[in-house]
């Protein structure tokens, strides 16, 4: 639509220009030339205008070869003068009057060169105008892109500052916490073996979560998978071993690493929203490494009244945000969320 409008503007501009020139000739000379002569020469001059515009834009701005541009400029004058001469000869052959007869040649050459230089000046001005507009738009585009990156950087810095502040607010003395859990473990196990085991599992998971949160970069995949096993065992104690969960976790080579707490977040989501006591439709947790890629999946039935929508859960949202920032296009997360079941399949390129 914009291209059609641009062509329309050009047509209107040429119509106005032609009317202006013909009117000036009529007013000054008191006569009007043959319509065919006008049509053919204006068509030729318009072609000459756009050809020179292309020539100027091509060589004067893009190639920046001044000598070549001058040579093409002179060649252009010679070629178009010769074509104009042939046009006039042809029109006279068909007995059509022309405003610039080809003979004598000197009387034809001077006004023709003047006319060509006139259109060269207009088309060169048009080309320079286009170049300035394009350069201005390019500069504006670069400035907008730079502003976008600055804004994005500011947002990232703000998010980092918020995260640091939140961490400082929530941080507690880990030694006090672990010493307290150790005391509770020693106290509880005397009266309940399962209770003591639950406290020990909770202590291991809490210690791992604390260390993973403070980790500089990556953690060993097997370490997180071990805590998933602990989390399942802890919940089995909590629900008197009634949870119908199948664990299918392959032995992952110890050199493979991943950003921490991603897999635990998915399993925690399953415990929070899943109905895990359906023996006829058992939940499952799977993990395997294939071709340097971790394939991790969870499946569970939903609890009635709880919808596992990844877009509404802070933990899942933060996990996706971290995956995007660290892995970019080197991971995929497939979510199957229907009325009864919830399933997640995560594929991540593992670091070594």
Query: What is the three-class DSSP state of 245?
Result: strand
DSSP string across 27-68? HHHS----HHHHHHHHHHHHHHHHHHHHHIIIIIIII--HHH
Per-residue pLDDT for 238 more than 70? Answer: yes
Query: What pLDDT digit, counting tens, does each position of 131-142 carry?
Result: 888 888 989 989
The predicted model scores a pTM of: 0.52
Contacts of 4 (CB under 8 A, 6+ apart): none
Q: What per-residue string of b and e applies to 80-111 under the rule 16 or more CB within 10 Å gives b?
A: bbeebbebbeebeeeeeebebebeeeeebeee
Distance separating alpha carbons of residues 5 and 212, to the nearest angstrom:
61
Of 4.10.520.10, 3.30.565.10, 3.30.1280.10, 3.40.50.2300, which CATH number belongs to 241-349?
3.30.565.10
How many Cβ atoms from other residues are within 10 Å of residue 234's Cβ? 20
3-state DSSP assignment of residue 268 = helix
Q: Where in the chain is the domain with CATH 3.30.565.10?
A: 241-349
pLDDT in tens, 82-130: 999 999 888 888 888 888 787 787 788 888 888 888 988 888 888 888 8
Query: Which residues neighbour 96 within 8 Å (Cβ) at sequence distance 6 or greater?
Result: 34, 36, 37
Using CA atoms, how far apart are residues 147 and 153, in angstroms rounded to an integer? 10
Predicted confidence at residue 69, as pLDDT, reads: 73
């Amino acid at each position: 639509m914009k291209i059609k409008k641009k062509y329309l503007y050009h047509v209107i501009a040429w119509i106005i220009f032609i009317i202006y020139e013909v009117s000036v000739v009529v007013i000054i000379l008191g006569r009007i030339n043959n319509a065919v002569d006008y049509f053919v020469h204006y068509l030729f001059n318009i072609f000459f205008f756009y050809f020179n515009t292309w020539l100027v834009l091509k060589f004067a701005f893009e190639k920046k070869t001044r000598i070549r541009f001058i040579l093409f400029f002179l060649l252009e004058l010679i070629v178009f003068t010769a074509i104009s001469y042939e046009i006039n000869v042809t029109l006279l052959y068909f007995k059509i009057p022309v405003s610039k007869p080809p003979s004598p040649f000197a009387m034809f050459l001077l006004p023709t060169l003047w006319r060509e230089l006139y259109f060269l000046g207009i088309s060169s001005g048009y080309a320079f105008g286009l170049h300035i507009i394009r350069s201005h738009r390019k500069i504006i585009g670069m400035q907008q892109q730079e502003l976008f990156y600055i804004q994005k950087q500011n947002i990232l810095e703000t998010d980092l500052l918020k995260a640091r502040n939140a961490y400082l607010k929530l941080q507690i003395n880990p030694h006090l916490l672990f010493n307290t859990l150790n005391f509770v473990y020693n106290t509880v196990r005397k009266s309940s073996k399962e209770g003591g085991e639950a406290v020990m599992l909770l202590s291991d998971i809490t210690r791992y979560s604390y260390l993973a949160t403070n980790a500089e970069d990556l953690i060993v995949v097997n370490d997180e998978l071990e805590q998933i096993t602990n989390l399942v065992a802890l919940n089995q104690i909590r629900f008197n071993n009634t949870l119908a969960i199948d664990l299918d976790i392959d032995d992952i080579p110890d050199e493979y690493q991943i950003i921490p707490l991603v897999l635990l977040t998915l399993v925690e989501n399953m415990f929070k929203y899943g109905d895990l006591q359906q023996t006829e439709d058992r939940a499952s947790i799977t993990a395997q490494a294939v071709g340097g890629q971790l394939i991790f999946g969870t499946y569970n039935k939903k609890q009635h009244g709880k919808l596992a929508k990844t877009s509404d859960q802070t933990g899942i949202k933060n996990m996706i945000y971290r995956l995007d920032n660290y892995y970019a296009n080197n991971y995929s997360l497939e979510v199957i969320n229907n009325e009864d079941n919830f399933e997640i399949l995560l594929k991540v390129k593992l670091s070594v």
